[in-house]
Chains A and B, each alone.
Chain A
Amino acid sequence: MLFFIIFILSLLASFVLPWWTIAIISFLMALFIAKTSRHAFWSGFVAIFIVWIVVALFKSVPNDHILAKRVAAVFHLPHWILLLLVTALIGGLVAGMSALTGFYVKKAFKK
């Protein structure tokens, strides 16, 4: 449930809002829905990991990955897939941490 909500909202937000709104979405959703710390972190992490891969590929596939290959070379990465994974990892980490924060904040205020 948490996973799907973060996934859907972030996917929609990614077309109009700045990238760090994923942090706000993950935080707020976890604040309301998260069951455990693990549930919160992994829901956020996996949701954004996938969203960012989807959004990146949405641009990169019709481009035959010309740009991804060049930018991989800029960062001395041997393959553009690694660039995609680093991208997804960073997004996942931010969302996971934000969701975790949401969960702990909820716990802190719930007596």
Chain B
Amino acid sequence: MKLFKALFTVFLTIALIWALQTKFGDLPPLGKFLNPATGFWQNAESRNITPKLTEKITGLNGGITIRYDEYMIPHIFAQNDHDLYFAQGYVTAKDRLWQMDIQTRSAAGRLSEIVGPKALDLDRYHRRMGMVYGAEQTMLMSMKDPKVKEMLEAYSDGVNAYIHSLPPKYYPIEFKLLDYAPEDFKPINCALILKLMSEVLATNSDDFAMTNTLKLFGPKVTAELFPDYPFKEDPIIPAGTKWDFKPLKIPAPSKGFIDDMTDTIKTKHGPEGIGSNNWVIGGSKTANGYPILANDPHLELTYPSIWYQMQMSAPGVNVYGVTIPGAPTIVIGYNQKIGWGVTNVDADVLDWYQIRFKDLTKNEYWYNNKWVPTKRRIEVIKIRGQADMIDSVIYTHVGPVVYANSNVKPKMSRAAFVPTGHALRWIAHDPSIEFKTLYILNRGKNYDDYRKALTYWTAPAQNFIFASVDKDIAITPNGKFPLKYKDQGKFLLDGSDPADNWQGWIPPEQNPTVKNPAQGFLSSANQSSTDTTYPYYINWRFEPYTRAKRINDRLRAMHNATVDSIRILQSDNYSIMAQDILPTMLGDIDQSKLTAKQKQFYGIIKTWDKHFDAKSVGATFFNAWWANLYNAIWADDFTVKNYLGIQLKWPSKDRTIQLLTTQKTSHWYRDTSNQLNTRQNLVNKTFNATIDSLTKKYGGLSAAWQWGTVKGSRISHLGKVDGLGSGIFSSGGTSGVINALSDTHGPSWRMVVQFGPTVEGYGIFPGGESGNPGSYFYDNFFNTWKNGQLKKLLFLSSSNDGEQHIKSTITLSNK
């Protein structure tokens, strides 16, 4: 009995400890996570900041001083390039180690290693899209350049120096939640970050949906509904700008064909209006006579923030701006000579080629009138708690066949745009050296440096805006653009026909560019790069012109501009789309037939100032009314019967506005239940339906109707952990206005740079410098950002400068 009691308690205690050390499902191991000696409590940062720290590490060429200001933004002072990037890796890891780990893992298709089989589809998707393959190609070229090689290696060494100095009790809390440990950082991770940018910004492909649309409606209707140039446009390169080069010969179109594929994904109306703004205003229009440059990239908002601020100084460089954790250099920023910013170019740099395999072994495919062997790339995917998965991906002369047949294609929304049996040609697979662009810009002194830097940029293509103390302003939609025949890649392409291959490249110096235009300002907001006179094809569709039009209207009218006038413009909520379409909609309402309640709403929308402000009820009504009207026009034609089950491309907002403003009657206004083909019928019907549906949803008119409440913006934790995000907040803005804050996406970094004898920067991002939810600096910028304010950026001329702002100093020296 005594023995039994002893054995029983021994067993019970060991079982208890084992259970507390083990991860069950999504729960962290409770004992490991909760115990105060090594668990999450150790991540609580004290309000008392250590003013001076000295660390001895190996691998430095000299001493490094890192000054942290009152927002815990690091200002690095190094004595050479190597140490500068070493320190950048070190301080970034100190604040954002988990973010670097999870983002590079995600890009590399290695999430299953830490979260188990539930991430397998996503991992396979990333592998099969060739993310790792593309990163390897980038490394091949980047490591041949001594400067870039030094930079990538020093950055990685810096990250690793920090990891090796970190006891497990101080691992970032997400490692503890997911129960794994940081691993050594490799230079290829920097390239993976670039591929991640390309995935977010340069995988916008409608080829599959467009081909289905073409099959269903035929070429005439498709050409009518999906024109190659928008109805309303205000291009990035001001219309009428002359091209001072002799263009290459444009390749001839291939014979082409439409394949007869079907798919099981239901039709979906893709989002529009995600993008970014940047602009620059010349000295002739500013108060101090020097340019002002502004940039606000719109991305999915997360904690920790996508961006990390820092100043980097070494002989030959002193630059301030934002970096992406996991990649060296400043991505958007300024020094005392130049400033630059970026927005996305919606270039058509991702195409699908139908592949005809010889047989089920898929060892050969038909190309250029003969059978050609395929190549295989083996992807080993490690899975937590399971055996490795070996995935073999077929590669052709254009690239990987992402899903060779429909039974390997997952039902994952991200993969929906992939046509099965097609090979992927994607710019992110090409050898590239983007870090060289940033390396040169960080040290840039003038316009010539800017132009030189841009020649090294491949992907994702960006509208690089520029200003300098020499009072030059410029913008260049820039990247490596394939030389194509017009509309090549608007639809799926033929993988057997060499005429459908990309036929070379637009020479970098012939990318659209403009310097010091007569209008005195430049801007971009993801709209068409040029007017129709540009000789090359970049894409048939871009983001709507609405943000660009508003920016240009305001800049045109602006005189004696200051930082504050630019700041206010960055949070502007005025809707050009409402300006373009609302008069037509209101004009069709027959007021004599309205009930008292309908009259009340008519009054609200009629007097609405077209601003998507947080408290606006008119914005809520317009937004819902427009969505109803858009659906009433297209849903019956573009929601395909279930048995067909193919995805179609829906006409754009721009095309819909063209239809509405130019045609009172059209067969598109007709649907199965309604044979009237008048606009007025649809406008009135949807007006009434909008009142009904909103009243049903929000009750009588009250604060619940306010746009900010209805929209419900939020910033989620990067790992979607509940409780580590911002929670829902009310705020103005929407996609399609300058302040493009939707529910989950928005301005991820707002920067304004005022040039002058001293260049001054202002900026803010939602979040904070620290990635630690237990830090005072995790979300301390949030309110300033939400209120549309900026912080003056502290630019130190030397490590002894600005002493009154310095809260902490770290000195790194060799062991």
Q: Interface residues, chain A, CB within 8 Å of chain B?
A: 13-15, 17-20, 23, 27, 52, 55-56, 58-60, 62-68, 70-76, 83, 86-87, 90-91, 93-94, 97-98, 100-101, 104-105, 107-108
**B721→A19 contact, CB < 8 A:** no
Task: Please provide the chain B residues from 153 to 177 with a CB less than 8 Å away from any CB of chain A in the complex.
Answer: 173, 177
Determine the residue in chain A with the shortest Cβ distance to B168: A18
> Roughly how many angstroms separate A90 CA and B20 CA in the complex, as a whole number?
9
- Type the 1/0 row for B87-129, where 1 means its CB is closer than 8 Å to any CB of A: 0000000000000000000000000000000000000000000
Contacts A/B (CB < 8 Å), 27 sampled: A14-B36, A14-B37, A19-B37, A55-B37, A55-B41, A56-B36, A60-B41, A63-B45, A65-B44, A66-B773, A66-B776, A67-B772, A71-B40, A71-B173, A71-B723, A73-B724, A86-B34, A90-B34, A91-B36, A94-B31, A100-B9, A100-B13, A104-B6, A104-B8, A104-B10, A107-B5, A108-B2
Determine the residue in chain A with the shortest Cβ distance to B42: A59
**B36→A52 contact, CB < 8 A:** yes
B288 located at the interface, meaning its Cβ lies under 8 Å from any Cβ of chain A in the complex: no
**A94→B2 contact, CB < 8 A:** no
**A87→B48 contact, CB < 8 A:** no
- Given A67-B774, A104-B2, output 19 extra A-B contacts at Cβ < 8 Å: A19-B35, A23-B17, A52-B36, A58-B36, A59-B42, A65-B44, A66-B775, A67-B43, A67-B44, A71-B773, A73-B723, A74-B722, A90-B31, A93-B16, A94-B20, A94-B31, A97-B13, A101-B9, A107-B2
Q: Interface residues, chain B, CB within 8 Å of chain A?
A: 2-3, 5-6, 8-10, 12-13, 16-17, 20-21, 30-32, 34-48, 173, 177, 721-724, 772-776, 778
**B31→A97 contact, CB < 8 A:** no
Q: How far is the CB of A104 from chain B (nearest CB, A)?
A: 4
Report A-chain residues with C-beta under 8 Å of the C-beta of B42: 59
**A101→B13 contact, CB < 8 A:** yes
**B41→A74 contact, CB < 8 A:** no
Determine the residue in chain A with the shortest Cβ distance to B723: A73
> Roughly how many angstroms separate A67 CA and B9 CA in the complex, as a whole number?
35
Report B-chain residues with C-beta under 8 Å of the C-beta of A83: 34
Q: Taking chain A's interface residues, is the majority helix, strand, or loop, or is none over half, making it mixed?
A: helix
Contact pick for A70, options B8, B9, B12, B724, CB 8 Å = B724
Would A20 and B9 be within 8 Å (CB), given that A62-B46, A93-B16 are in contact? Answer: no
> Roughly how many angstroms separate A70 CA and B36 CA in the complex, as a whole number?
16
Q: How far is the CB of A39 from chain B (nearest CB, A)?
A: 15
**B5→A104 contact, CB < 8 A:** yes
Report B-chain residues with C-beta under 8 Å of the C-beta of A90: 20, 30-31, 34-35
> Roughly how many angstroms separate A72 CA and B773 CA in the complex, as a whole number?
12
Determine the residue in chain B with the shortest Cβ distance to A60: B44
Most chain A beta-carbon contacts within 10 A, residue among B13, B20, B36, B40: B36
> Roughly how many angstroms separate A19 CA and B722 CA in the complex, as a whole number?
26
**B723→A91 contact, CB < 8 A:** no
Q: How far is the CB of A60 from chain B (nearest CB, A)?
A: 5
> Roughly how many angstroms separate A104 CA and B324 CA in the complex, as a whole number?
58
| Tally of contacts, chain A with chain B, CB under 8 A | 130
> Roughly how many angstroms separate A43 CA and B5 CA in the complex, as a whole number?
19
> Roughly how many angstroms separate A105 CA and B16 CA in the complex, as a whole number?
17
Q: How far is the CB of A16 from chain B (nearest CB, A)?
A: 9
Q: How far is the CB of B540 from chain A (nearest CB, A)?
A: 46
Report B-chain residues with C-beta under 8 Å of the C-beta of A70: 723-724, 773-774
**B39→A19 contact, CB < 8 A:** yes
Report B-chain residues with C-beta under 8 Å of the C-beta of A101: 6, 9-10, 12-13
Report A-chain residues with C-beta under 8 Å of the C-beta of B10: 101, 104-105
Q: How far is the CB of B23 from chain A (nearest CB, A)?
A: 15
Q: How far is the CB of B714 from chain A (nearest CB, A)?
A: 14
**A87→B41 contact, CB < 8 A:** yes
Report A-chain residues with C-beta under 8 Å of the C-beta of B8: 104
**8 closest pairs, A vs B, by CB?**
A73-B723, A67-B774, A19-B35, A63-B44, A108-B6, A62-B46, A55-B36, A56-B36
> Roughly how many angstroms separate A37 CA and B724 CA in the complex, as a whole number?
43
Q: How far is the CB of B29 from chain A (nearest CB, A)?
A: 11
Report B-chain residues with C-beta under 8 Å of the C-beta of A75: 723
Contact pick for B32, options A17, A19, A58, CB 8 Å = A19
Contact pick for A20, options B3, B17, B47, CB 8 Å = B17
Report B-chain residues with C-beta under 8 Å of the C-beta of A59: 36, 41-42, 44, 46
Determine the residue in chain B with the shortest Cβ distance to A27: B13
Would A18 and B37 be within 8 Å (CB), given that A59-B42, A101-B9, A104-B6 are in contact? Answer: yes
Contact pick for B16, options A13, A52, A76, A97, CB 8 Å = A97
Contact pick for B44, options A17, A68, A72, A94, CB 8 Å = A68
Q: How far is the CB of B429 from chain A (nearest CB, A)?
A: 39
Report B-chain residues with C-beta under 8 Å of the C-beta of A13: 37
Report A-chain residues with C-beta under 8 Å of the C-beta of B40: 67, 71
Determine the residue in chain B with the shortest Cβ distance to A66: B774
Report B-chain residues with C-beta under 8 Å of the C-beta of A64: 47
> Roughly how many angstroms separate A109 CA and B41 CA in the complex, as a whole number?
40
Report B-chain residues with C-beta under 8 Å of the C-beta of A58: 36
Report B-chain residues with C-beta under 8 Å of the C-beta of A20: 17, 21, 31
Report B-chain residues with C-beta under 8 Å of the C-beta of A97: 9, 12-13, 16
Determine the residue in chain B with the shortest Cβ distance to A69: B723
Q: How far is the CB of A105 from chain B (nearest CB, A)?
A: 5
Q: How far is the CB of B33 from chain A (nearest CB, A)?
A: 9
Q: How far is the CB of B328 from chain A (nearest CB, A)?
A: 30
Report B-chain residues with C-beta under 8 Å of the C-beta of A72: 723
Report A-chain residues with C-beta under 8 Å of the C-beta of B47: 62-64
**A108→B5 contact, CB < 8 A:** yes
Determine the residue in chain B with the shortest Cβ distance to A73: B723
> Roughly how many angstroms separate A60 CA and B179 CA in the complex, as a whole number?
22
Report B-chain residues with C-beta under 8 Å of the C-beta of A104: 2, 5-6, 8-10
Would A66 and B44 be within 8 Å (CB), given that A87-B36, A104-B5, A108-B6 are in contact? Answer: yes
> Roughly how many angstroms separate A107 CA and B2 CA in the complex, as a whole number?
7
Q: How far is the CB of B716 from chain A (nearest CB, A)?
A: 13
Determine the residue in chain B with the shortest Cβ distance to A64: B47
Most chain B beta-carbon contacts within 10 A, residue among A58, A68, A73, A93: A73
> Roughly how many angstroms separate A108 CA and B1 CA in the complex, as a whole number?
9
Report A-chain residues with C-beta under 8 Å of the C-beta of B35: 19, 52, 87, 90-91
Q: How far is the CB of B572 from chain A (nearest CB, A)?
A: 34
> Roughly how many angstroms separate A19 CA and B775 CA in the complex, as a whole number?
24
Determine the residue in chain A with the shortest Cβ distance to B2: A108
Report A-chain residues with C-beta under 8 Å of the C-beta of B775: 66
> Roughly how many angstroms separate A19 CA and B5 CA in the complex, as a whole number?
26
